Amino acid sequence: MHPLTLYWFKMGILLFLAGEGLPLRCEICRDTNYDCTGPAYACLPFFDSCVTIQSEKRPAFSINKPYHSKGKRAVLKKCIGSSICSEGVSIVNIGRRGIITTKVSCCKGDDCRKPALPLPPINTTANGKACPVCLTFSKTICQSEGTVRCVGDQLYCLLIYGIASAGVSGTFASIGDPVISSHIAIRGCANQVFCDTFHEGAVHLASLTLIGSGNCELATSTVQGLSVYFLPVLGGLFLLKSIA
């Protein structure tokens, strides 16, 4: 069964078992900062938690030059299923496209009133590991564009391909821009938090929700090239702007 089909099948089962209690209400907002405020909306029954997704992308010039200390920030608050809540800060390094740091914080009730704290600084010291790197949305093959130097706790080489969606969903009301989905393939360095979350199911990368297949393997000092094949789809340009 396709991972996306399986995901929505599970969501349908949760909807069936949800009962007739009052729906959860979550604050819905987005901003280009660490925190945001907005109105509360009733969540669909199969979403049982509120979430704050914080991200920061630090661009890099090249493998031999240091990463910027400041990056592009984003925050999104919405309804979510608690099965894809995670702890810790995930990090994905896509070479010249930068390092993407993401934190997913789930809450309910009064806990959601606590202000979101800034993301912690990341260690940008090279750790001697390297991985093949690429990012594509609309091509049928994700061919390695070279290698990326892993830094800090990025000890894994990531390969992920599947469906990426962007937008606010999960409420009875229609809010903001419609959810847009596209196939995606990514390779680069990742830390254990990202890999652990990815192995459990859906994972968040900046403003994108990814559902797909792939693997994380311990990085070495030498890299072998691989290719990822998938069907071409539309919408890649929009998603590229979300992550670029």
Q: pLDDT digit string (tens) for 185-238? A: 999 999 999 998 876 667 888 878 888 888 899 998 865 544 433 333 333 333
pLDDT band at 139 (very low <50, low <70, confident <90, very high): low
Residue 169 CA to chain centroid, in angstroms?
A: 15
* pLDDT for 176 beyond 70: no
Rounded Cα distance, 218 and 1, in Å: 28
Assign 3-state DSSP to the chain and report helix, strand, coil percentages, each to 5.
20, 40, 40
Mean pLDDT of 109-129: 88
Question: How far lies 235's CA from each of 24, 41, 182, 239, 240, in Å?
Answer: 31, 28, 6, 7, 9
Half-sphere exposure of 39 (CA within 13 A, CB side): 6
Rounded Cα distance, 222 and 147, in Å: 9
Percent of the chain's residues with pLDDT above 90? 33
* Close Cβ partners of 24 (under 8 Å, ≥ 6 residues apart): 42, 43, 47, 48, 49, 50, 79, 108
Could you state, in order of their start, the residue ranges of all structural domains in the chain? 3-243
Q: What does R_g of the chain's alpha carbons equal in angstroms?
A: 18
Task: Give the least confident one: 19-33, 40-54, 128-142, 169-183.
Answer: 169-183
Determine contact, residues 102/116, Cβ cutoff 8 Å.
Answer: no
pLDDT band at 175 (very low <50, low <70, confident <90, very high): low
